Amino acid sequence: MKKLKALTEREVDRIVEMAWEDRTTFDAIKEQFGLSEGEVIKLMKREMKLSSWKMWRKRVQGRKTKHLKKRNFMEGTHKCSRQRSISNNKISKR
């Protein structure tokens, strides 16, 4: 397991980016970087402004998509029923 101090700036940036993404699980971060959920939370608190960290924590707490075992889908992304389809790399006519 990598210690928080041993991470490169690029790795820290990627972890913060992954943690902000709603559909990236803490398990995926652990698999890629070896950091537990608690370590990710500590890293986020260290790297972010206090107000941003509080907003992130409020959003992440209890979110099913951040925990692999709580998700109701295993792969892919959710597509909203109201999302327009895309064909030939052009957004469909409105």
- Cα distance from N-terminal residue to C-terminal residue, the chain: 50
Q: CB of 21 within 8 A of CB of 28? A: no
Q: Which H or E element spans position 33?
A: helix 26-33
Tens digits of residue pLDDT in 25-74: 888 888 899 999 899 999 999 999 999 999 988 888 876 666 555 555 55
Q: Residue 84: what pLDDT? A: 53
pTM higher than the cut 0.75: no
Residue 15 has pLDDT above 80, yes or no: yes
Q: Which residue has the tokens 């707490």?
A: 61
Could you give the C-alpha distances from 72 to 12, 18, 34, 53, 85, in angstroms and in order?
A: 29, 20, 24, 27, 23
In this prediction, residue 89 has a pLDDT band, given cuts at 50, 70 and 90, of very low
**CA torsion angle 79 83 26 9 (round to 10):** 140
Residue 79 has pLDDT above 80, yes or no: no
